[in-house]
Amino acid sequence: DADVTQTPRNRITKTGKRIMLECSQTKGHDRMYWYRQDPGLGLRLIYYSFDVKDINKGEISDGYSVSRQAQAKFSLSLESAIPNQTALYFCATSDPTQGANYGYTFGSGTRLTVV
């Protein structure tokens, strides 16, 4: 099994619908992140969580919300999806005790299309 698992892998949804992307990890890391990746814009941070009770907005949080259900689970919701939220979404984890030297562990991504 992958260290960081994202579901679904692909999703097509209609404008205005609520959708949830799920992420679970077996690394035992406290820190979890949600990024979106767009051509020409790279990876941009949506939300991050340093533990179950600590959730913070990233640079592009408008239109998104998150839930940290447990150390291992971090979900991203689009309350009312719009077409410019079409992107590739990644969940990642990191371990602060190991520092940046070990980088982030990313999931395989969710390709979301809003029509």
Partner 1 sequence: QKEVEQDPGPLSVPEGAIVSLNCTYSNSAFQYFMWYRQYSRKGPELLMYTYSSGNKEDGRFTAQVDKSSKYISLFIRDSQPSDSATYLCAMTFSDTGTASKLTFGTGTRLQVTL
Binding region for partner 1 (CB under 8 A): 4, 33, 40-43, 45, 48, 50, 58, 90, 92, 94, 96-97, 99-104, 106-109
Q: Supply the minimum distance, in Å, between the C-beta of residue 80 and partner 1.
A: 27
Bridge partners (DSSP) listed for residue 49: 32, 55
Q: Supply the minimum distance, in Å, between the C-beta of residue 7 and partner 1.
A: 14
Nearer to partner 1, 83 or 103 (CB): 103
Say how far apart CA 56 and CA 61 lie, in whole Å: 9
Nearer to partner 1, 75 or 105 (CB): 105
Residue indicated by tokens 């994202």: 6
Nearer to partner 1, 80 or 107 (CB): 107
For residue 46, give the H/E element and its range: strand 42-51
- The closest alpha carbon to 104, from 27, 52, 47, belongs to 27
